[in-house]
Amino acid sequence: MTQAPDLPVVKATDLTKKYGAFTALDKLSIELLKGQILGFIGPNGAGKTTTIKILVGLAKPTAGEAYIVGCNCTTESKKIKRLVGYMPDTFGAYDNMRVQEYLDFFGAAFAIPRKQRRTRIDWVLETTGATHMRDLFVESLSHGMKQRIGIARTLLHDPPVLILDEPANGLDPTARVEMRQILLKLADMGKTLIVTSHILPELSRICNVVAIITGGKLRAFGSLDTIMHDLRQKRLFEVQLAGTADAAAAAARLSDLLGTSVPVEASQVEGLLRFSTTLADEELAHVLRELIARGVMVTQFREVQQDLEDAFLSVTRAAAEQDRLAADVPAPAAGGAVS
């Protein structure tokens, strides 16, 4: 199935999934274009797997809709199976089966003709760098090898979308680099990838789109640059004090200069002050001058470069705070309204 390149390959609108009173997923909306790699980030139990299961047609949403290449994930699950290559977080090995037999089974299940299947098996093994594993028994493979075979399996029927649940989980650094190269190669082929992972530095190297989800809610979604830019609006700074300086007193003086709404963290052991601010460089230069003028012994004043991990932590902390505040809101009085 082909479609215009500017149309989203994956589209989810207000996806909601409830298990009884528990909301696993709350109005999640995402869109992905051809060749994009989405890094789907969230803590355990955030709703990542639920979203994936809905997208691959293994679960029905309570509300909302999801489409892959224009096919509805709920009502057209048969078509979805041919459009998506799904690698769950468990490998699903069959004992007593060699790699070629394993791939042959899934190829036959997708009704790939025998001659074409042979070529496909060769191709997927080569693409994933697993040709030498062809005759090995699946159960005897190491974790990294299994991950490669798992990806090879998802590629067998040449789907436009690949959904990989924790593909880098448990891999050693070399295998992780190789896995990254495989995923980038697949994106180059025009495949759209959705990748979940806890290894955020790894994701930041391959993803061009990021979705951060916590408590079933999508907290941030967009290109990696956009998210990092949004985050940069509040920059993190560190002030290194001279060895004997009183960090608590210095923090109080700095807090006076920044305004009480900006919390300043102080670490006496490290001799360090830390704060986040939206102030411009000129204003910060003024703060530094004042701080020194007030007798604080400063040896360094620096901006901390932030990465995806910081973005994730920042977004999840903000989300937790938001949820806490929402929980603290008193119930409205009868006949009243909450603005």
Binding site for other proteins (CB under 8 A): 53, 56-60, 74, 77-78, 81-82, 84, 86, 88, 90-98, 100-101, 104-111, 113-114, 117-118, 135-137, 139-142, 153
**CB of residue 136 to other proteins, shortest distance in Å:** 4
Distance, in Å, from the CA atom of 20 to the CA atom of 39, rounded to the nearest integer, reads 29
**CB of residue 114 to other proteins, shortest distance in Å:** 5
85: closest CA among 216, 206, 183?
A: 183
31 neighbors 11 (Cβ within 8 angstroms): yes
In the bound state with other proteins, the residue whose beta carbon lies nearer, of 63 and 248, is 63
In the bound state with other proteins, the residue whose beta carbon lies nearer, of 114 and 324, is 114
In the bound state with other proteins, the residue whose beta carbon lies nearer, of 59 and 71, is 59
- Token pair listed for 268: 């006496």
**CB of residue 141 to other proteins, shortest distance in Å:** 8
**CB of residue 35 to other proteins, shortest distance in Å:** 23
**CB of residue 164 to other proteins, shortest distance in Å:** 13
In the bound state with other proteins, the residue whose beta carbon lies nearer, of 143 and 289, is 143
335 Rama sector, left if φ>0, alpha if ψ -120 to 50, beta otherwise: left
Please give the helix or strand (H or E) that residue 276 lies within, else none.
strand 272-277
In the bound state with other proteins, the residue whose beta carbon lies nearer, of 102 and 221, is 102
Order of strands, sheet of 37-41, starting from the edge strand that comes earlier in the sequence: 84-87, 161-165, 192-196, 37-41, 209-214, 217-223
E runs forming strands in 62-198: 63-68, 71-72, 84-87, 161-165, 192-196
